[in-house]
Amino acid sequence: MTVGHFERTFHEICPESPAAPPERSAVRPATFPSRSTLATSPDTPRLTDVLPAPARVEPAAGVEFVLTPGTTIRTTPGPEAGAVGRYLADLLRRPTGYPLPVVTAGQSDVPGGISLLLTGDEAATTGAPGRPGTAAAGTASRTGTAPAGADSAEGYHLETTATAVVVRARTAAGLFYGVQTLRQLLPAKIESARRQSGPWVIPGGTISDHPRFGYRGAMLDVARHFFAVPHVLRFIDHLARYKLNHLHLHLTDDQGWRIAVDSWPRLTSVGAATEVDGGPGGHYTKEQYAEIVAYAAARHVTVVPEIDLPGHTNAALTAYGELAPDRVAPPEYIGTDVGFSTVAVDSERTYRFVDDVLGEVAALTPGRYLHIGGDEAFALDTADYARFMNRVQRIVTGHGKRVLGWHQIAVAEHSAGRVLQYWGTTEEDQTVAAAVRAGAKLLLSPGNRSYLDMKYSAATPLGKDWAGLVEVRDAYDWDPGSYLAGVPAEAVLGVEAPLWTETVRTIGDVEFMTFPRLPAIAELGWSPVQARDWADFRLRLAGQGVRWSTAGITFHRSPEVPWAGVPVVPEPRPGGSSSTATGADTAPASSGPGNPGGV
C-alpha cells in the first residue's frame, strides 16, 4: 500500500496525456490594487486572497518572507507534525527545486525558515498576538463571535515575518490547514509539476483561523460511473486544498456495487460488472479501499462510506436474487431512472445481509459515520420503510458507528448521534425539523445550491437540471446555519457538495463539475458569516483559476468570475470524453463504449 505525501498529478494518473499547458505568470484581475513593495512580483498573492476566507487576517505592510535554497522546515518532534512538514516539503520541492529539509524544531542551527509547531490547548485560534475581535484599525479582521459549531481543534495561527513563517496549531489537522493557507500565499507557479524560477515570496502578517462547521464534505458517486483509485486520490487532494474534511463515497446503487464484501462475494463478482450506459464498471478490493482511507487520513479527510438501502439496490439483487421482494434476480440496469428497486424488507435473510455488509464496511472505516442512504425508496410504503430503517439503524449502532442517511430517514425513530443529510430544494420540511427536535443533527446539501451534478447553465454539456441550474453564485449565496426552517445553527453539523455521476464519466468531467463550485461550498463550511462576501469571493476565486490551470485541473469558466491569465480550456462535450487542456482521460475504468474519445 502506498500513501505518498505528494499530490496525484494528472500525468501520474494519465501518463499518456499530452503535456500540461505551458506556464504563464498569473495576471491579476484589473480590479486588484497595484502593489510596488520590496521583491513582491505581480504574481505574489496578498494575505487577504486566501480561500476559504480565514477568520482573521492582519497584513503587515511592506513585510515579506522569501523562500530560498537554504530554507528549512522545522516541526515539533513526533510523527504527526513531521508528517505535515513532509507533506509541505513535497508540495514545494518540485516547483522550487529547493531541498527544503524537514528537521525537528530545536535541532536546527539555521535561524528562521518555516516552523510547524504543535502547541498546548491555549493555542491556535486565539494565537498571539491579538485575540479575535481585537484587531487594530486598518486590518482585515473578519472575526466576530464564533458561531456555535465552530471547531477550534482544527484552527491554526500563521505568522509571517521577514525571517520566518510560523504555523501554530493544537492538532496536526490545524497545522495541515495552516499549510494549505501557506500554499495559497505562494505564487501560483507553486502548483506546477515542473521546476519554476522564483522569487518565492510570501506576504507578511498574521492569520488566525478556525472552521465554522466540523463537517465539511464532498460526495463522489462511484456507482453510476466507477472511478479508479488514482482518480479518487486526486479528488481527495482537491478536497484537502480547500480544507474539506469528509469524503462521502456513494459505493452502491442500481447500476453497480463497488466495494468488496467477503461474506457476500457475488456483490462484486456479479454486481460490479457494469455502470450507466453499459461501461465496464469495477470495484475496490479491501486493500484498495484501505489505500483510499489512508490517503485521505494523511490529508485529514475522513471517508464516509454509503451503502444505499433499501432502494438503489438493483445491483445487489442481480447478485443475490434471494434479497429481492419476489426472490428473483433482476437483470442488470444501465439506465438512469431512480426509485424502482428495493430489498425484501420482510425477510430475515435481508437483515443478515445488511448486518454482514455493514459489519465489514465498519471494520474498514476509522470515521464515526456509516451512511445508509435511504433516498427514493418508492417501491415501499412509509410504514415498511420506517420499520426497515429502524432495524438498519440499530445494526449501525451495533457495529459501533453513528447513522448518517439522506433526510428521508427522518421518518425512522431517533438513533443516538444520527445525522440527516438534507438534499431538498425547499427551505421547509416539517418531518426533518421534527427529527432534529428529537436529537438528529443536520448536514446541508440542498440540491439547488450544493449539487455538483446540476448544470451551471442550460448550455452546460454535462449534468442534470431537476434541482435547477446552479452557477457559482447560487452555490455561494446561502447560509447553511439558517437554511431550513425550525432548525437552529447549533443543530447543523456542516455542509456537503454531492457529485452524482450519471452524466459524469471521466476525472476531467469530475473536475469540470467540481470547480469552481466546490470552493464556494468549502467557504460556507469554513468561514465565519462575517467573512463571506460574494464580491470579494469572486475575486479570490479568480486567483484560484490560475492555480488550477497551472496544476492541470479542468474547470468551468463561469461568466460570473473575472478569470485572469487563464488559458481557454475546452469544456467537455456531451456524451463524449472530456477534451481538456491536459488531454483526454485515459483511465480504462471510466471510459465506456459510449465514450469513444476517452480510451
* Least distance from ligand TNX to the Cβ atom of residue 338, Å: 5
Beta strands in 423-479 (DSSP E): 441-444
Q: What is the dihedral of CA 137, 113, 52, 535, to 10 degrees?
A: 50
Residue with cell 480544507: 243
Cβ(73)–Cβ(114) below 8 Å: yes
- Residue with smaller CB distance to ligand TNX, 198 or 463: 463
**Interatomic CA distance for residues 159 and 130, integer angstroms:** 12
Among 375, 429, 496, 509, binds ligand TNX (CB under 6 A): 375
Window 504 to 563, contacts with ligand TNX (CB under 6 A): none
57: Cβ–Cβ under 8 A, 6 or more apart, which residues?
Answer: 47, 48, 50, 139, 140, 141, 142, 205, 206, 207
Q: Is 423 in the site for ligand TNX (CB under 6 A)?
A: yes
Among 63, 338, 364, 411, binds ligand TNX (CB under 6 A): 338
* Least distance from ligand TNX to the Cβ atom of residue 444, Å: 13
- Residue with smaller CB distance to ligand TNX, 500 or 563: 500
Q: What single letter denotes the amino acid at residue 116?
A: L
Residue with cell 452524482: 500
Among 291, 306, 453, 571, binds ligand TNX (CB under 6 A): 453
* Least distance from ligand TNX to the Cβ atom of residue 408, Å: 8
- Residue with smaller CB distance to ligand TNX, 251 or 584: 251
- Residue with smaller CB distance to ligand TNX, 241 or 312: 312
Among 12, 322, 376, 533, binds ligand TNX (CB under 6 A): 376
**Interatomic CA distance for residues 317 and 297, integer angstroms:** 33
C-alpha cell read off for 27: 495576471
Cβ(159)–Cβ(166) below 8 Å: yes
- Strand, helix or coil at 216? strand
- Residue with smaller CB distance to ligand TNX, 332 or 453: 453
**Interatomic CA distance for residues 238 and 136, integer angstroms:** 35
Which of the following is catalytic: 80, 376, 427, 560? 376
Cβ(323)–Cβ(349) below 8 Å: yes
- Distances in Å between the alpha carbon of 429 and those of 192, 289, 377, 405, 413? 46, 36, 18, 16, 17
- Residue with smaller CB distance to ligand TNX, 5 or 464: 464
- Residue with smaller CB distance to ligand TNX, 174 or 447: 447
Q: How many CB atoms lie under 10 A from the CB of residue 169?
A: 32
Among 478, 500, 537, 555, binds ligand TNX (CB under 6 A): 500
- Say how many residues touch ligand TNX, by CB under 6 A: 9
**Could you tell me the strand order of the sheet in which 113-118 lies?**
102-104, 73-75, 113-118, 164-169, 156-160, 200-209, 56-67, 140-141
- Residue with smaller CB distance to ligand TNX, 423 or 563: 423
C-alpha cell read off for 383: 410504514
Angle at 224 between CA 222 and CA 227, to 5 degrees: 35
Beta strands in 339-429 (DSSP E): 369-373, 402-406, 419-422
* Least distance from ligand TNX to the Cβ atom of residue 316, Å: 15
Q: Is 90 in the site for ligand TNX (CB under 6 A)?
A: no
Q: How many CB atoms lie under 10 A from the CB of residue 121?
A: 8
Residues β-bridged to residue 115: 74, 166
525: Cβ–Cβ under 8 A, 6 or more apart, which residues?
Answer: 52, 211, 212, 213, 215, 216, 217, 243, 244, 480, 494, 495
- What percent of the chain is helix, strand and coil (3-state, nearest 5)? 30, 15, 50
- Residue with smaller CB distance to ligand TNX, 237 or 502: 502
Q: Is 379 in the site for ligand TNX (CB under 6 A)?
A: no
* Least distance from ligand TNX to the Cβ atom of residue 315, Å: 13
* Least distance from ligand TNX to the Cβ atom of residue 514, Å: 15
Among 156, 226, 385, 406, binds ligand TNX (CB under 6 A): 406
In the shown chain, the binding pattern of residues 457 to 496 toward ligand TNX, with x for contact by CB under 6 A and - for none, equals -------x--------------------------------
23 is catalytic: no
* Least distance from ligand TNX to the Cβ atom of residue 505, Å: 14
Beta strands in 445-570 (DSSP E): 492-499
- Residue with smaller CB distance to ligand TNX, 275 or 375: 375
> Rule CB under 6 A: which residues touch ligand TNX?
338, 375-376, 406, 423, 453, 464, 500, 502
* Active site (catalytic) residues: 376
